[in-house]
Amino acid sequence: MSVTLSTLQPDFAAKFDRIVDARRESDSDVAGQVTDILQTVKLRGDAALVEYSQRFDGYTLADDADWSISRERCEQAHHELAPDLRAALELAAQRIRSYHEAQLPENRDYVDSAGVRLGAIWRPVDAAGLYVPGGRAAYPSSLLMNAIPARVAGVERLVVVTPTPKGQSNPMVLAAAHIAGVDEIWRIGGAQAVGALAYGTDRINPVDVITGPGNAWVAEAKRQLYGVVGIDMVAGPSEILVIADGTNDPDWIAADLLSQAEHDPTSQSILITDDAGFARQVVDAIELQLSVLTTAKTARTSWDTHGVIIVVNDLLAEAPALANRLAAEHVELAVDDPEPYLTSIRHAGSIFLGRMTPEAVGDYVAGPNHVLPTGRRARFSSGLSVLDFMKRTSFLGLDQASFNAIGPAAATLAHAEGLPAHAKSVELRIK
């Protein structure tokens, strides 16, 4: 059963601390398993991928055609989509592309007051690997959210890995790959696919950055391989925090909470409200909607195990501070004037302003990326962006005059740090 708390309870602080500190990642100890898988892929390459694909996906990688999905097949899938689905994907792609184009950073090149030329050049990585789930969660929207920022950044080679259990692939995922301009799609998944992208095999050339959602094994593989490749983030179970006053429609808020609960049994949905009666109405609405929801089994487990309702005395005075402690992936502000909340909430993956901005719109067509930090990581990290596929190279240039202006200080600091070769490198040039 979901938990209901009130800030007026004398033990509220202790109970809230337990919610903040709770870890909802998989209880399984997957680190050791992932280490073994990655080492096997590194040593045995394609042969290891064949074995893991057969074991985990019931799919045999034999001929060349078994390994990859061609661009022609993706174009065909796009052509065969129902017109409304095709139009929805293309609208989403257009809005995602437009939003991320505005993120492109500018190069800098200037001369400072000492006469030193300084600056930085932004360049894309050469190749990006995109993980696309193919089991419980086969989401074309995630492919667009990962591939389009990479392409906007200027990445020349986009590589998708996706499991195809029993050989089945999702036509909408293939259509999304066509829209986004993906170069390669490999029929492999799990930690072994992440290892193949990082290390490379005879068939699959390595990449520089790996992004995209996945299960606990995929997340752990990305964590272990950070440093061999760049990654977007180590993502955990999805979460939503809805801050809502009592004038909302309880059916709307119930649906918003279930929109995350249906993702996974370990997802978390939290409501903060200043109206206890409204909170009870939302609980009743959740029960009614669960009775007809096709994803009810997953959503029920999530809501009963991790769902939380917090009743506060003063919504504006109390909710932002609680939200900052939670640092949730998604924060909905279902109030008449969300601006004061927006300025007060410092830690959130993405914030949705007003009653007409459900998180689900952000998952698909709004434009901002839906790959967001979970597990309170919004305290120190951001959602996926163009910058995840780029790196910055600084440069500087001095002439004799500018060198004479700042060089002596460098030599002084080098001597102070006990690095005489550093100092000599500078002193030989001073005139």
Catalytically annotated residues: 329-330
Contact 194, 221 (CB under 8 A): yes
| DSSP code of residue 247 | T
Q: Which of 364, 373, 431, 378 is nearest to 404 (CA)?
A: 431
| Amino acid occupying residue 310 | I
Contact 164, 59 (CB under 8 A): yes
For every residue of 97-150, DSSP letters joined together read HHHHHTTPPPPEEEE-TTS-EEEEEEEE-SEEEEE---SS---HHHHHHHHHHH
| Residue 250: both structure tokens together | 């309880």
**Collapsed DSSP state (helix, strand, coil) of residue 353:** strand
Cα–Cα separations (whole angstroms), residue 90 to 180, 253, 363, 369:
9, 29, 14, 16
Q: At what angle do helices 83-101 and 171-180 cross, to 10 degrees?
A: 40
